[in-house]
Amino acid sequence: KPKACIFDLDGVIVDTAKYHYLAWKRLAKELGFEFTEKDNERLKGVSRMESLEILLSVGGIKIDDENVKLQLAEKKNKWYVEYINQMTKDEILPGVIEFLELLKSAGIKVAIGSASKNTITILERIGLKDFFDVIIDGTKISKAKPDPEVFLKAAEELSVRPEECCVFEDAVAGIQAAKSAGMKVIGVGDPTILKDADKVIQSFQGQTLGLIEF
Ligand code: G6P
Ligand code: MG
């Protein structure tokens, strides 16, 4: 059984993926194209600037000026922050709290491993900031998922070896990152999309410790 569980935030603990999507969609509209849910899969787990690059390529738009790109990313983030500032505890996904408490009572450490620079804001909004033993977010890493940096850093700060960790992820890039880190990974979402995960769950509702036995 793993000694620690590392949770992605967006799409695993809370459904902020929908707010990211709304904000990117709004930016796409302003740039004159439609951005669909299918295209949005590619943005999950990916850093803000890389997401912008993908969005622009979907719209067939070429921008060379770095400052213009930064302004666009900032605009998207402003809208995104407006959405997340409205969040409450009620938006924690079903079964998450119960599962986290189950882990804690079994002496298993818990961490957040997210690419988001808004991680602390979100955790504060939903009242979970002090629950995690370690939080590694977009402000502490230099390489975005699928690079394993975020999860390896979490393991290091937790003082456990990568092979003693189990990661929970909703994104293809995140599953790749966990695998390259040498960790077990449980996908949260659609098994046809998350097919490289060791297991896939639809939600945390009713899950027991048996879930993290491999
Ligand atoms: C998470 C989300 C991505 C998002 C990234 C950066 O990994 O899944 O969709 O682009 O974080 O988030 P940020 O809040 O820093 O823009
Ligand atoms: Mg995610």
Nearest CA to ligand 1 atom 13: 116
For 25, the token pair is: 């969609």
Count of C-beta atoms within a 10 Å radius of residue 151: 29
ipTM above 0.90, yes or no: yes
Given this model, what pLDDT does residue 13 score? 98
Q: 35 CA distance to ligand 1 centroid (A)?
A: 17
42-81 pLDDT, tens digit each: 898 889 999 999 999 999 999 999 999 999 999 999 999 9
Given this model, what pLDDT does residue 26 score? 97
Question: What share of the chain has pLDDT > 70, as a percent?
Answer: 100
pLDDT for 17 beyond 90: no
Whole-number average pLDDT of the chain: 97
181-206 pLDDT, tens digit each: 999 999 999 999 999 999 999 999 99
Pocket flag, ligand 1, residue 121 (CB < 6 Å): no
Report the candidate in 150, 156, 132 with the shortest Cα–Cα distance to residue 45: 150
Q: Average pLDDT, stretch 140-153?
A: 96
Helices (H), the chain: 17-31, 37-40, 48-58, 66-84, 96-105, 119-125, 149-158, 172-180
Nearest CA to ligand 1 atom 2: 45
Q: 45 CA distance to ligand 2 centroid (A)?
A: 5
Rounded CA-CA distance 27/47 in Å is 16
